[in-house]
Structure 1
Amino acid sequence: MIEAAGTGGQLAFDGQYVTITRNGFLARATHGRGDKKIPVGAISAVQWKPAGLTNGFLQLSIGGADRQAAKGGRTMNAAKDENSVVFTKKQQPAFEALRAALEQAIANRHAPAPAASVADELAKLAELHQRGVLSDQEFATQKQRLLGS
């Protein structure tokens, strides 16, 4: 579990879900009470602004594309967004770790499935041959194709 506490909110990531928790009266009055739990599969993008002269933010885009606010108003807009948490420069390292883990999880969801190994394919062919689905000649041909000989 990776957690990052910001100003008026906290993010927690368990590998499958991001939970946004609001702390304090003002944060709960602005965004509502309770936690918001978002599955990684629902997150289409992670917007990031590092803290500098002003606070930074981590904003989750859910579903489609979001319009980016004009420069100077991005942090103010993020503070009002229920899928964002604003953080100070001191809080930034925890948010950087959470961001990296979250982006890796999103990328893993879109990675191609690993190809079956040659040994796995040979085992499947042998089973089909044994069950009589493949003739001796078909088995030999497919085996040569897999082995590249």
Structure 2
Amino acid sequence: MSGGMVDIIDVKGASGRIVFDGEQVTIFRGGLLGRPASEAAPHRLHISEIVAVGWRPAGLTRGFIRFETERGRGLARFGRDAAREAAQEGTVTFRARQQPGFAELKVAVERAVAAGRGDSPPADTAATTTEEIARLSHLVQSGAITQEEFRQAKSRLLGGG
């Protein structure tokens, strides 16, 4: 899209699917055998609710993306179980081959959160992008993703659509 509009980002991970439309993050949880769980309502977060984006890249274990909110941070005073439940609500895990899409999502959400606050993008965004491109290169070398997938993910990370 053009004119400052954000393309919808839709990524599927090991523990759920996330759709980001530029203003809202929606997390869908899968049911048994990956089928949609009819009783599980999607978890929606407006960018104004997100205070931080947690990230662990996939390696020997699954990676994760976590959307932290003030509400989740406030629950820490009620004990570890409440805080853990809030963290799980805003967390999706992913495998190495799914990481490029989640890296794109992370950068897009961080930019939207910063813009919503009137801040400049996080200072580590450039370093994060560089690190992610290096990780993508490693995934190509290991055969986890194709050269074309690498080019597409790199282009998205660099803002080329």
Q: Same fold (TM over 0.5)?
A: yes
Question: What's 1:53 paired with?
Answer: 60
Unaligned runs of 5+ in 1: 67-76, 113-149
The CA distance in 1 between the partners of 2:10 and 2:70, in whole Å, is 23
Separation in 2, partners of 1:17, 1:44: 13
Q: Which runs of 4+ in 1 moved over 2 A?
A: 24-28
Kept in 2, the 8 Å contact 1:44–1:64? The answer is: no
Letter in 1 for 2:95: T
- 8 Å contact 1:59–1:84 — kept in the other structure? yes
> Can you give the 5+ residue segments of structure 2 that lack an aligned partner in the other structure?
1-7, 74-83, 120-161
Q: What is the root-mean-square deviation in Å for CA atoms of aligned residues?
A: 2.8
Q: Provide the secondary structure at the position in 1 that maps to 2:105.
A: helix
Counterpart amino acid of residue 117 in structure 2: H
1:33 counterpart letter in structure 2? A
Amino acid at match of 1:7: A
> Which structure is higher in helix share?
2
Q: Decide which of 88, 96, 105 is 1:98's aligned counterpart.
A: 105
Identity %: 37
Does the alignment pair 1:85 with 2:92? yes
Please give the alpha-carbon distance, in whole angstroms, between the structure 2 residues aligned to 1:44 and 1:51. Answer: 23
Q: Secondary structure at the match of 1:91?
A: helix
- 1:51 alignment partner, SS class: coil
TM-score normalised by length of structure 1: 0.59
**Offset at residue 110 of structure 1 (A):** 1.8
Which amino acid is 1:92 matched to? Answer: Q
**Matched residue type, 2:20:** F
Aligned to 1:21: 28
Question: 1:123 corresponds to which residue?
Answer: none
Q: What TM-score, normalized to structure 2?
A: 0.55
Does the CA-based 8 Å contact 1:8-1:24 persist in structure 2?
Answer: no
Deviation at 1:25, TM superposition (A): 2.2
C-alpha deviation, 1:23, in angstroms = 1.1
The partner residue of 2:116 within 106, 109, 113 is 109
Higher relative contact order (CA 8 A, sep 6+): 1
SS in 2 for 1:95: helix
Query: What secondary structure is seen at the aligned counterpart in 1 of 2:89?
Result: coil
Aligned residue number for residue 41 of structure 2: 34
- Determine which structure has more spread, i.e. the larger CA radius of gyration: 1
Quote the Cα distance in structure 2 between the aligned partners of 1:96 and 1:48.
9
